[in-house]
Structure 1
Amino acid sequence: MGMPSPLPVRDGVGATRLHVPLSGDWPTVSAYMIERFFHLDRERLLTRFDRGEIVARDGSALSRDTPLGAEEFVWYYREPPVEKAIPFEVEVLHQDRDLVVVDKPHFLPTTPGGKFVQNSALVRLRNLLDIPELTPIHRLDRATAGLLMFSTRRETRGAYQLMFENRRVQKVYEAVSDRPSDWDPSAFPLVYRNHIVKNRSEVCVRVDTAREPNSETLIELLSADEHSVHTLLRPHSGKMHQLRVHLAALGLGIRGDGFYPVLLPEAPDDFERPLQLLARELHFVDPLSGTPREFRTARTLKEGVA
């Protein structure tokens, strides 16, 4: 269990915890933070200390003169960014004492970060359902729509998280790709494997052909026409961007994907052209009740084929 925050969830967002060195060249905690967050205005940061907005583990406020070494961890609320609204709603499909299952739209991130805080599924749901402890059990890419599960209680959260860690959840996706010129429908169904590596400083994952596969997807053909290929995807593993990488490797890069097979320059969201990838189904045996459970999205891909 993580270190509990002395500050409550506010507007659906939890406080940020910062580790502060116990010794070093800074006379005070505030001096360390000024250097650590050099891109922020110095006086504005010091004013936050004066207002009692930087607190210790017991919730007591630190001053701008609190000496370095007095506290190893401090907590504070990040100042919210100016956000561009995501004009799509997250829809609750199921809610019980321990579990919430929702239909996430394209463009909405699972958790707050970077440019999106209030415009994240987690913050919207905490505010909508008034459940400050709500926590995602797994994640979907911001660009991907479909089923997403959240835990409502810390006491039972681990049981659901363990399902995903032990691959006891069957996940089913679907995607639409442009039909390549050398299209061969007889190749499907097929199982695709490779070794995916995520480097911290890079937005895309890399494929290491020299290493044993660590990702696997069963890919089935749903339908095709002269322009499009519609596939059903059953991942056996859950590596970052796995489905996007696997289809791109087969010449079936997902329509609307600005990352694979080629990383395109960053551009504003085009709400008329979402990534054609949908988390369609979730199947598992509930770890608390032992009951088989199935959920299916109510969404469809905008550019599906007949």
Structure 2
Amino acid sequence: MSRSRRPRPAPPLPVRDGISPSYLWLDAGEWANMLEFLVARFPGVSQAEWTARMEKGDVVDLEGIPVRADTSYRRGACIFYYRELAHETPIPFAETILFQDEHILVADKPHFLPVIPTGRFVRETLLARLKQRTGLQDLTPIHRLDRETAGVVLFSHNRATRGIYQALFQQRAMDKVYEALAPTRPELQFPLIYRSRMAEGEPFICMKEVDGEPNAETHIELLENFGPVSLYRLRPITGRRHQLRVHMAALGMPIVNDAFYPVLLPCKGDDVSKPLQLLAREIAFTDPLSGLMRHFASERTLEPAR
């Protein structure tokens, strides 16, 4: 079985401090033991650190049996471990829980907080914070927002019904509304519909527009004019990565504080002084289980610079 088709195994380690254990299927390789493999596979973690983790029982196999430094490397095996960072920059903004029932949880995410563990953020993520706060070990985001984007995020915490809610996104049965602050363009007629074909750009973290049949569509309305900038309502009909940011930049009105479009700027690191002025304002759908109309709105606002 190829790695991409392997099932997600049930973790034998518990959620710890809001962090679920990561897992890794072992492919073909010539390693004397597991310590040698782990040091080579994760060069950012020292041999001493891996040894300490294994001695604490923080690295186990599929059956929950501790993996030791001298455990033989075995192709096809699966190991579990906790992602840890020596230093993680605190994100000084708090999330809000807007709604929770026996199936879903809806959160209002602040700017700069990643939804899931990635890169240099593990504990300082929306998922980890919510798991620690609620104790819901099966909590999983049904969709994503960029770290730079604030607003409404929908989670599932019931495995039995998760697929039903995920299908709403696949069927485009979710009505998503965003707001953005961007340059005023008095020569454009609003509301307008913008369509283009988007593809992965260079570097891969960026997207670009290319020739061909459109695969991305955004509806844009002007809400309020503040002089040099205006507040816009954005409705993405499709869900391409960075779609709203690419489309706004293509129209000559890049979203305020966008460090990716139209030009990729150097990484701002831990600077949180200039949040991207993009907000996932609302999400609405007919609940597939109850038949009720669900509508959730962010309590955050976008304010133009004075």
Task: State the TM-score, normalizing by the size of structure 2.
Answer: 0.92
CA–CA distance in 2 between the matches of 1:128 and 1:204?
Answer: 33
Match of 1:11 in 2: 17
CA–CA distance in 2 between the matches of 1:283 and 1:224?
Answer: 26
- Which stretch has the larger CA shift, 28-37 or 99-108? 28-37
Q: Deviations over 1:184-211 (max 9, x none)?
A: 14x2211111122236962211222x23
Superposition pairs of residues 105-184 of structure 1, within 5 angstroms: 105-179=110-184, 183-184=186-187
Match of 2:192 in 1: 190
Superposition pairs of residues 183-262 of structure 1, within 5 angstroms: 183-185=186-188, 187-198=189-200, 202-208=204-210, 210-262=211-263
CA–CA distance in 1 between the matches of 2:149 and 2:22?
Answer: 27
CA–CA distance in 1 between the matches of 2:124 and 2:55?
Answer: 30
Contact 1:55–1:76 (Cα < 8 Å) also in 2: yes
Please point out which of 36, 41, 54 is paired with 1:49.
54
Shift of 1:29: 2.7
Q: Deviations over 1:76-111 (max 9, x none)?
A: 112234122111110111111111111111111111
Pair 272,27 (structure 1): closer, same or farther in 2 beyond 3 Å = closer
Shift of 1:67: 1.7
Aligned to 1:55, the other structure's residue is in SS state strand
CA–CA distance in 2 between the matches of 1:127 and 1:104?
Answer: 16
Matched, 1:62 2:63: no
Aligned to 1:194, the other structure's residue is in SS state strand
Pair 201,226 (structure 1): closer, same or farther in 2 beyond 3 Å = closer
Contact 1:20–1:29 (Cα < 8 Å) also in 2: no
Q: 5+ residue gaps in structure 2?
A: 1-6
Shift of 1:48: 2.9
The one-letter amino acid paired with 1:18 is: L
Contact 1:92–1:101 (Cα < 8 Å) also in 2: yes
- Between Structure 1 and Structure 2, how many residues are aligned? 300
Shift of 1:299: 1.1
Contact 1:147–1:279 (Cα < 8 Å) also in 2: yes
CA–CA distance in 2 between the matches of 1:200 and 1:69?
Answer: 37
Q: Deviations over 1:2-21 (max 9, x none)?
A: 22111111111111111212
Matched, 1:303 2:304: yes
Shift of 1:32: 2.1
Match of 2:4 in 1: none
Match of 1:284 in 2: 285
Pair 70,143 (structure 1): closer, same or farther in 2 beyond 3 Å = closer
Aligned to 2:59, the other structure's residue is in SS state coil
Q: Deviations over 1:104-145 (max 9, x none)?
A: 111111111122222111111111111111111111111111
Match of 2:3 in 1: none
Contact 2:98–2:107 (Cα < 8 Å) also in 1: yes
Matched, 1:90 2:95: yes
Shift of 1:179: 2.7
Contact 1:176–1:304 (Cα < 8 Å) also in 2: no
Query: Identity of aligned pairs, percent?
Result: 43
Contact 1:56–1:74 (Cα < 8 Å) also in 2: yes
Q: Please, what is the CA RMSD of the aligned residues?
A: 2.0
Dislocated runs of 4+, deviation >4 Å: none
The one-letter amino acid paired with 2:109 is: K
Contact 1:199–1:205 (Cα < 8 Å) also in 2: yes
The one-letter amino acid paired with 1:193 is: R
Shift of 1:274: 1.3
Shift of 1:56: 0.6
